[in-house]
Amino acid sequence: MTVPTRDAAAALDAADPLRRLRDAFALREGLMYLDGNSLGALPRATAARIADTVTREWGEGLITSWVDADWVGAPRRIGDKIARLLGATPGEVIVADSTSVNLFKALTAALSLRPGRSVILSERGNFPTDLYMMQGIAAFSGGRIRVEAVDADAVLDRLGDDVAVLLLTQVHYKSGRMRDMAAVTRRAHERGVLTVWDLSHSAGAVPVDLNGAGADFAVGCGYKFLNGGPGAPAFVYVAARHQGAAVPVLSGWFGHAAPFAFEDDYRPAAGIERFLCGTPPVLGLAALECGVDLMAQADMGEVRAKSVALGDLFVQAMDARCAGMGFTLVSPRDARSRGSHVSYAHAHGYEIIQAAKARGLIGDFRAPDILRFGLTPLYLRHVDMLDAVEVIRDICVTRAWDRPEYRERAAVT
Ligand SMILES: *Cc1c(COP(=O)(O)O)cnc(C)c1O
């Protein structure tokens, strides 16, 4: 298949139904930002919203803003907006803490619903924090809980009567492989196993139908495809049918049935609020809401169609322009089982990513040898795919990556 010309790609951009959303982001001219799956771009509305939250709501309203500016309602209000993106019902999602902390909450809540079972199951090579949080729970349990991480393709066969909960990331952070949430959840439920889905690379990236899939628990990030800003608060989903029985182990006062009754004894809130822990991070919530509101303007079907088109175009261009240069596609070639990023292995992956940055192409590197390119349909264009591949090709042809300063590992990759 021949790669479309740059003019043909520009014509696709002109006809793109999501085109106007790009203008809602502050992106400097000439930048090819293929890293929105790691840190989403800045919505133009965010700076003014933060300024208003600081100067008016905080500066003038002071403590009255908890009620008057509805700070206290923000975790639930924004959670309800995220629920709509994920095929969940209002009251099933709340914004709180980090994804790591929410993993702890979801896993321990699931364990509380399966008291006779001892195994937390996941796949080897899952995102590190998912594995680490599992390991921390097991270490703390004094031997009651065991962790098993098996090969990705062996997960379903391992489901059994000793497994309490299965933790999987729907779109794998490295490969971009996308799991069939409904089919996996069905298989888990057949064996009495509860599911926790990590949606860090799904929320705002691919259509998700938590209720349709019968999912039990889910967590995900606010700062990736939801464009909530660095360190944005995360979200946790608990299916309505579990909320009454799932015991919150992080039993903080904001999850209490009556936080301002100041009782000595913990009583969990009736609904999703029991998965709050402490005081909500108001400034982070304000920024997150700007990103979520933008995402809500997009039709998820159009987002997915464009994500697939961008991914296919990128792979096609890499095939045509960078063949024989040492790249191996590690993402599924078939877009149906691929999320919204494309990854390649290359022996000099780290250096190539550094050299690309110097030329206005930002992707990221994931050890040991993966170059990862995020496809964010709200603000990327078809021409960016072709331009990015030309940058990569030029870096390889001229060996521009082969410089000592590009070999030095930074603290964050
Ligand atoms: C990005 C990511 C996280 C991040 O967790 P934090 O607590 O926000 O650092 C967790 N899980 C997956 C799968 C991710 O991709």
94-141 tens-digit pLDDT = 999 999 999 999 999 999 999 999 999 999 999 999 999 999 999 999
Active site residue 223: yes
* Whether residue 1 has pLDDT greater than 80: no
User: Would you tell me the crossing angle of helices 382-397 and 6-14 to the nearest 10 degrees?
Assistant: 150
Q: Give the mean pLDDT of the chain.
A: 97
Give the residue, by CA position, lying nearest to ligand 1 atom 2.
200
Q: What is the model's pLDDT at position 282?
A: 98
Report whether residue 316 contacts ligand 1, using a CB cutoff of 6 Å.
no
What is the distance of C-alpha 237 from the center of its chain? Answer: 13
User: Separation of 174 CA from ligand 1 center, angstroms?
Assistant: 12
Report whether residue 104 contacts ligand 1, using a CB cutoff of 6 Å.
no
246-285 tens-digit pLDDT = 989 999 999 999 999 999 999 999 999 999 999 999 999 9
**Listed residue (20, 45, 356) closest to 227, CA to CA:** 45
- Residue to mutate, 131, 200, 202, 226, ligand 1, most ligand atoms under 8 Å from C-beta: 200
Cβ atoms < 10 Å from Cβ of 69: 18
Out of 365, 372, 379, 387, which one is annotated catalytic?
A: 372
Out of 117, 158, 174, 224, which one is annotated catalytic?
A: 224
Domains of the chain: 6-42+299-407 (3.90.1150.10), 70-295 (3.40.640.10)
pTM across the whole model: 0.98
Q: What is the model's pLDDT at position 134?
A: 98
* Whether residue 313 has pLDDT greater than 80: yes
Report whether residue 200 contacts ligand 1, using a CB cutoff of 6 Å.
yes
Give the nearest ligand 1 atom to 224 CA: 1
User: Separation of 39 CA from ligand 1 center, angstroms?
Assistant: 11
Residues 228 and 291 sit within 8 Å (Cβ to Cβ) = yes
DSSP 8-state symbol, 32: E
Active site residue 186: no
Residues 115 and 325 sit within 8 Å (Cβ to Cβ) = no
Residues 99 and 170 sit within 8 Å (Cβ to Cβ) = no
Active site residue 237: no
- C-alpha 285/C-alpha 96 separation (Å) is 9
Partnered with residue 222 across adjacent β-strands are none
> Which parts of 358-413 fold into alpha helices (H)?
382-397, 404-407
